[in-house]
A and B are shown apart, each in its own frame.
Chain A
Amino acid sequence: QKEVEQDPGPLSVPEGAIVSLNCTYSNSAFQYFMWYRQYSRKGPELLMYTYSSGNKEDGRFTAQVDKSSKYISLFIRDSQPSDSATYLCAMNTGNQFYFGTGTSLTVIP
């Protein structure tokens, strides 16, 4: 079993839609939970991170962590064409980071 599971998509939505991206994980020792956005031909950039279960909001983005279910989500409200990218979930324990495969998102104008 992979440490982190993420549906690779691709996911295609119309502009203005609410997008839900999800990951599951198996290691209960994971401490930090992160979402990265990666545009084509670029390195991943950190969108949000959270330490505990619950919700964290930043503008149109909401990160949700449910440690009891080992499930994390990223919601994007009022999605824009500029949100088209690959979204990677990541989590860490100790000094190592574990990544999902990434979900490719296209927002259609």
Chain B
Amino acid sequence: ETGVTQTPRHLVMGMTNKKSLKCEQHLGHNAMYWYKQSAKKPLELMFVYNFKEQTENNSVPSRFSPECPNSSHLFLHLHTLQPEDSALYLCASSHVGTGGAVLVEAFFGQGTRLTVV
């Protein structure tokens, strides 16, 4: 399998549930990202991990909790979400040089369509 794989593709959860989104990249990249995509809005960066270290947390509510156990896997743990959190959640990977600058473009997974009821 190649590229960036996200599971599940679709998720419906209640506001009191706890669930996790999974992302795996097979590209040998060392940076991974979570984005939120809502209708009519630009992609919203949520979290960035370089070399397994979180380098960005873009003022994301604590009900979203990322985990990056290694440079190939990224999780987004969800708990007590709100209906406005319903969106497409996209994982991406890229390769960053030792100076911290991106060396290649971002590659995206297919996304998880999340609906909070």
Main SS class of interface, A = strand
Write the nearest CB–CB distance from B71 to chain A, whole angstroms: 14
Choose one: B42, B56, B107, B113; the contact of A101 (CB below 8 Å).
B42
Contact between B100 and A42 (Cβ–Cβ < 8 Å)? Answer: no
Number of interface residues of B (CB under 8 A): 28
- In the complex the two chains form, what is the Cα distance from A94 to B92 in whole Å? 16
Number of residues from A at the complex interface, CB < 8 A:
28
With an 8 A cutoff between CB atoms, is A96 at the interface?
yes
Contact between A46 and B105, CB atoms less than 8 A apart? yes
With A90-B105, A97-B43 given, name 20 new contacts (CB 8 A). Answer: A8-B40, A34-B105, A34-B106, A36-B108, A43-B4, A43-B6, A43-B109, A43-B110, A43-B111, A44-B108, A45-B108, A46-B107, A90-B106, A92-B106, A95-B31, A96-B48, A97-B92, A97-B102, A97-B106, A99-B43
Tell me whether B108 and A43 are in contact (CB under 8 A).
yes
Asked if B55 CB lies within 8 Å of chain A CBs, one says yes
Of B101, B107, B113, the contact of A41 (CB 8 Å cutoff): B113
Give chain A residues whose Cβ lies under 8 Å from the Cβ of B92. Answer: 97
Report the separation of the CA atoms of residues A28 and B96 in the bound assembly, to the nearest whole angstrom. Answer: 20
Interface residues of B in 48-73 (CB under 8 A from A): 48, 50, 55-56
Q: Could you say which residues of chain B place their CB within 8 Å of the CB of A61? A: none
| Residues of A contacting B4 in the complex (Cβ-Cβ under 8 angstroms) | 43
- Residues from chain B with Cβ under 8 Å of A93 in the complex: 101
Q: Which residue of A has the minimal Cβ distance to B4?
A: A43
Contacts of A90 in B (CB 8 A): 105-106
Contact mask for chain A residues 78-109; partner B; CB cutoff 8 A; 1 contact, 0 none:
00000000001010111111111110000000
Q: Which of B102, B108, B113 contacts A92 (CB 8 A)?
A: B102
Interface residues of A in 26-72 (CB under 8 A from B): 31-32, 34, 36, 41-46, 49
Which A residues are in CB contact (< 8 Å) with B101? 31, 93-95
A11 on the interface (CB 8 Å rule)?
Answer: no
CB of B90 closer than 8 Å to a CB of A:
yes
* A/B interface sample: 19 pairs, CB < 8 A: A8-B40, A34-B106, A36-B108, A43-B90, A43-B108, A49-B105, A90-B106, A92-B105, A92-B106, A94-B100, A95-B100, A96-B45, A97-B45, A97-B92, A97-B102, A97-B106, A99-B43, A101-B41, A102-B42
